[in-house]
Amino acid sequence: MSKETKQYDPKSREILYKFWEKLPEQRIVIDYEDDFFKHYARKFTFKILGKGIREKLPSGKIVTRKALNAQEILQELNDALDLKFKIKEEREKYDLSLHSLYFHLQKLEEVGFIQTVAILKEGRHNVAYYSRPAKVVLFKDEYTEDEKIMNAFTSMEKLMKVINPEFDTEEFKKYYEKYNKINGKNLDRIQRKIGEIQDKVYEADIDPNDIQRFLVLISQINPEFVEFFKEILEKINIELW
């Protein structure tokens, strides 16, 4: 990232500094990370719009702006790549034109990962500024978190019916509903906690989704989860330890 701060007349640019205060604290979107974020430009754009860039106002105050135009995003991306790759041939593999970046910005906006927060008249051009749709955007992998877990409960139910024909499958179905209820409360607590420490997350230059994954792992010792899984283990009567 460029170390220099930029100076602008903020008269028509006030929205670029104030919009962040009005954003929702969190937004949960369907997780396209495995394929949608595969391109480095999309992942970097999402990251830099959370971190922002530093610039100096005419008053002398230095602020962090989290609404950037495509040229600024490209400059930040190139600065980051220049720092990462010292060998010319390796760096050239990541060359990206402004036209190509616009394509990726459009794709990000289509699925709700970013939004156009303002279009400002600058010289003879109308310039779009992009931002995140919320201060913290967390991903929910709908298939992984919902469908796979539902399949796991359904498969265990079928297995138990084969192992023990007298097994009460109707009662077992209620466990999936109970799991969803406990897990929903658990995720809500985790996401609220991430919202509370969001400034520190961006200061550390890390992805809040990684922190969510870590806290989800830790939450396995949640007393509600522990008692719930103990009950299930007794019900299926399978010895694991």
- Kindly tell me the sign of the dihedral angle through the C-alpha atoms of 131, 133, 134, 136: negative
Which tokens sit at 152?
């796991």
pTM of the shown model: 0.67
- Helix %, strand %, coil % of the chain (to 5): 55, 15, 30
List pLDDT tens digits, range 222-236. 999 999 999 999 999
* Cross-strand bridge partners of residue 127: 120
Buried b (16+ CB within 10 A) or exposed e, 45-63: bbbbbbbbbebebeeeeeb
Q: Half-sphere exposure of residue 225, counting CA atoms within 13 Å on the CB side? A: 13
For domain 14-136, say whether CATH 1.20.1250.20 is its number: no
Q: How many whole angstroms separate alpha carbon 190 and alpha carbon 141?
A: 16
Phi, psi of 71 (to 5 degrees): -65, -40
Question: Of 189, 178, 156, which Cα lies nearest the Cα of 228?
Answer: 178
**Could you state, in order of their start, the residue ranges of all structural domains in the chain?**
14-136, 141-236
Structure tokens at 116: 């156009």
pLDDT at position 7: 45
Only one residue has tokens 């109308």, namely 126
Residue pLDDT tens, the chain, 241 long: 344 444 445 567 888 988 998 998 888 776 555 556 778 899 889 889 988 999 988 888 899 999 999 999 999 999 989 988 989 888 899 899 999 999 999 999 988 889 999 999 888 889 999 999 998 887 765 545 677 888 999 999 999 999 999 998 888 989 999 998 998 899 888 888 888 887 788 778 777 878 988 998 998 899 999 999 999 999 998 888 7
Instruction: Give the pLDDT confidence score for residue 3 in this predicted structure.
Output: 42
How far is it, in rounded angstroms, from Cα 126 to Cα 90? 35
